[in-house]
Amino acid sequence: MATSVEVKDKRRTGNKRFVSGVVEGFYGRPWTMEQRTELFKREQKWGLNTYLYAPKDDYKHRMYWRDLYCPEEAGQLIALISAAKQHNIDFIYAISPGLDITFSNRKEVTALKRKLDQVRDFGCSSFSLLFDDIETEMCPADKQAFSSFAHAQVAITNEVYQHLGEPETFLFCPTDYCAAFCTPNVSQSSYLHTVGDKLLPGIDVLWTGPKVVSHKISVKSIEEVSSVLKRAPVIWDNIHANDYDPQRIFMGPFKDRPTELLPKLRGVLTNPNCEFHPNFVAIHTLATWCKACSNGAPRDVEMGDEEQDPYYSPQKALILALTDWLQVFLSTDQPTACSKKESCDEEPMQTDLGEGSYVPEPGENPLYTAEPLTLEDLKLLSDLFYLPYEHGSTARTMLHQLDWLKRHSQTAKTAEWCSRAQHFDDMCEAVVRMFNRLSNAPNRSILYDLYNYICDIKSGVNMAQAYIKSLGGLGKPSAQLMSGDLEPWSFRGGLSGEFQRMLPGHGNRDLFKHPPKTAVFCIRPYCPEDQMEVQKIFMTMQRERQIQVPSLTQPRLISDMLSTGDISPTPQCALVLEDELGVCGYMLALTDTKAAAANIQGDMNHSAFEDFPSLVTGQVLPRVSDPSPGKRMIEQLLSAIKSSGSRGVFCELRHSERRMLDFYAKLGSFNPIKMAGLPQDVIAMGTSL
Ligand code: GDL
């Protein structure tokens, strides 16, 4: 008998039930047959109904798609399909012929049909053709036969669908399977329009949302793609997929897909983490989401909170999932780890009881007893490995605290600094405790799937903890942590890590890139003797950016004139930055720019000077990759300018001065301002004081 959920699902999408479940569609090691069978059990228990078999690196699914299964493989697939049936799960067999198929060759079409016929004979009745992640350029033979790539794919898909007797479930994955891949966009994509117009109406289309890994999927975006496809899509959701980054795994809840989507979709399949066991949360929370609207009355939601879904709370769904998962963690999966009583029963001949159960004598080591894992541990685990675009709340707090402690570490440690450092330390300790309890949990399979990730986070946290201790004067100074004959775990990430650190935007997030021994800076007032050094830095930076060095006698900008020494900065309004190698940066200001401007930039809009009478210019050599000394200099300078009675400050920046542009933008207070008369490649940014 159909359940009420099914009745409702069928109403939603005509006659067919809403497709919900899992797609094994990731790159890398496929799941085992046992894991898949376990998945069917769980799906059934949680009310999901579908499994799409599409492991990218299974030989005969993609690379050798033409090859038939050998008897041994056949036996395994037959067993799997029958296990799915037993658990009421629709087993969809997918094939990806797109790497090398010639669509116009009849032999190829026959090979495809033969392969799918074989799987049909195994008892499978639902199928899927996938054309994701393939070359979009057709071979000359196909170009002759088909007017476009979409026409070729649709023709073969329709033919196979009809050959198989128009199965109730038949899915097609387009090559442009997300909005980001559509040219020029979804509504004008000729590829998607061909699919929408020509694909037979009984075939459903897979869609990953705005992107491959979609942060959010909005109702509007689904309405748009549905109208082009002329059918509601089945979401192939990569929100929990982790095959693109070996350091990440996702154990946060299914999120940022409003339940309002449910009636607008044909289904949702999640393509989760490569590791089977850590997908408990991904699949459990998806199931909660799918049940959302059938659970009756909407939840109470605070008025005005547009982000809140009245039918689904990711946070509550997460707790439900973690509570169930805890039980699995606590149950043993090791046949060898049976209780002492059982082992005695199995070996009745054993008489030496002393050996069977060791009891330490007084004064000897007590027996090791593992602390049991708690729900709090699992919440923390999920927070640390949350979602692709979001850390969990504890992780956010840790990052926030660490950032604050770093930024406020150069002054004398206040009570606030110490209390925050203590809080940070406590959070690090909680991670270590969680690691220990997880390592001792009876279910070893889950642990083994998680092991690399939890080891990695533990050592990351340990390093941060040691660093904060050293800043607070406790433990080894961080310079020492970095010196000497280091162990290999100090060079985390191997070659790939090195590449990443050499690219912009990565290095400056690393804690120890600039160990304090080289990061001792001194900011002092500028004196006339510094002029040569300042000019040298200015010229170096100009050359770096391949800007023609302006003629020393006729600089184009007032800033240039200040840097080259043609104008002197206002006394008390100039600073230099020094490190152990010498002067490595400067910040110079004119409190009254008007007079200087009149001489060299006659047609400048003087009205801007009313709001921004002062000018500041500065450079910091690239060897100072930490932005904080620069920030500190400008803070000091702005306060000096303010005390001179000025209302505002501006700076002149060339478009090629990316680093300085970025520096001012990140300060937050400087904004672009209009200042007529500046050369085209120069923008002005100003701040009121
Ligand atoms: C993809 C692949 C998928 C992979 C995922 C995440 C689809 C349709 N295809 O593009 O196999 O697991 O990205 O890396 O999503």
User: Are residues 211 and 107 part of one domain?
Assistant: yes
180 in ligand 1 pocket by Cβ < 6 Å?
A: no
Distance CA 395, CA 381 (A): 10
| CATH number of residue 425's parent domain | 1.20.58.240
User: Are residues 203 and 79 part of one domain?
Assistant: yes
Contact assessment for residue 611 and residue 648, using Cβ atoms and an 8 Å cutoff: yes
User: Are residues 495 and 541 part of one domain?
Assistant: no
Ligand 1, residue 271: give the atom nearest the CA. 12
Residue 103 pLDDT: 98
Position 173 in a domain: yes
Residue 595 pLDDT: 75
- The CA distances from residue 484 to 467, 481, 490, in Å, are 16, 8, 11
> Residue with the nearest Cα to atom 13 of ligand 1?
212
Count Cβ neighbours within 10 Å for each residue of 69-106 and write b for 16 or more, e otherwise: beeeeeeebbebbebbeebebbbbbbbbbbeebbbbee
In sequence order, which ranges of 230-306 are alpha helices (DSSP H)? 280-291
Position 240 in a domain: yes
Residue with the two structure tokens 């040691």: 466
DSSP string, 79-92: HHHHHHHHTT-EEE
451 in ligand 1 pocket by Cβ < 6 Å?
A: no
Position 360 in a domain: no
Radius of gyration of the chain (CA): 32
Q: DSSP class of residue 507?
A: G
pTM confidence score: 0.72
Taking only the tens place, the pLDDT of each residue in 600-652 is 655 555 677 888 999 999 999 988 878 888 988 998 899 889 888 899 999 99
170 in ligand 1 pocket by Cβ < 6 Å?
A: no
Q: Which of 243, 248, 275 is the best mutation target for the ligand 1 pocket, counting ligand atoms within 8 Å of the beta carbon and taking the most?
A: 243
Give the 3-state secondary structure of residue 525. Answer: strand
Of 300, 320, 354, which one is at a domain's C-terminal end? 300
Residue 282 pLDDT: 98
User: Are residues 639 and 684 part of one domain?
Assistant: yes
User: Are residues 593 and 479 part of one domain?
Assistant: no
28 in ligand 1 pocket by Cβ < 6 Å?
A: no
| Four-CA torsion 370, 371, 375, 380, nearest 10 degrees | -90
Position 359 in a domain: no
> Residue with the nearest Cα to atom 1 of ligand 1?
212
Q: Which of 173, 178, 206, 238 is the best mutation target for the ligand 1 pocket, counting ligand atoms within 8 Å of the beta carbon and taking the most?
A: 238
Contact assessment for residue 100 and residue 135, using Cβ atoms and an 8 Å cutoff: no
Closest among 89, 155, 100 to 125, alpha carbons compared = 89
Taking only the tens place, the pLDDT of each residue in 499-540 is 877 776 554 444 443 433 446 788 889 998 999 999 999 998
Of 442, 465, 499, which one is at a domain's C-terminal end? 499
560 in ligand 1 pocket by Cβ < 6 Å?
A: no
Position 410 in a domain: yes
Ligand 1, residue 213: give the atom nearest the CA. 6
Residue 449 pLDDT: 98
> Residue with the nearest Cα to atom 9 of ligand 1?
132
Closest among 466, 471, 472, 479 to 518, alpha carbons compared = 479
The strand pair at 582-590 and 614-620 is best described as antiparallel
236 in ligand 1 pocket by Cβ < 6 Å?
A: yes
Closest among 123, 116, 111 to 79, alpha carbons compared = 123
Position 349 in a domain: no
Ligand 1, residue 241: give the atom nearest the CA. 6
Which structural domain, as residue segments, surrounds residue 640? 525-688
Sheet of 522-525, strands arranged across: 522-525, 574-579, 582-590, 614-620, 648-654, 682-688, 671-673
Residues involved in catalysis: 133
User: Are residues 531 and 490 part of one domain?
Assistant: no
Distance 212 CA to ligand 1 centre (A): 7
User: Are residues 280 and 176 part of one domain?
Assistant: yes
| Residue ranges, the chain, pLDDT below 50 | 1-13, 339-352, 354, 507-518, 552-554
Position 33 in a domain: yes
> Residue with the nearest Cα to atom 11 of ligand 1?
26
Distance 100 CA to ligand 1 centre (A): 18
Position 72 in a domain: yes
Q: Which helix (H) or strand (E) holds 127?
A: strand 126-130
Distance 274 CA to ligand 1 centre (A): 12
Residue 531 pLDDT: 93
189 in ligand 1 pocket by Cβ < 6 Å?
A: no
Q: Which of 208, 242, 279 is the best mutation target for the ligand 1 pocket, counting ligand atoms within 8 Å of the beta carbon and taking the most?
A: 208
> Residue with the nearest Cα to atom 15 of ligand 1?
212
User: Are residues 479 and 574 part of one domain?
Assistant: no
User: Are residues 531 and 493 part of one domain?
Assistant: no
How many C-beta neighbours within 10 Å does residue 326 have?
18
Closest among 249, 262, 314, 226 to 26, alpha carbons compared = 249
Residue 675 pLDDT: 83
Cis, peptide link before residue 184, omega less than 30° from 0: yes
269 in ligand 1 pocket by Cβ < 6 Å?
A: no
Q: Which of 22, 23, 27, 249 is the best mutation target for the ligand 1 pocket, counting ligand atoms within 8 Å of the beta carbon and taking the most?
A: 27
Distance 445 CA to ligand 1 centre (A): 25
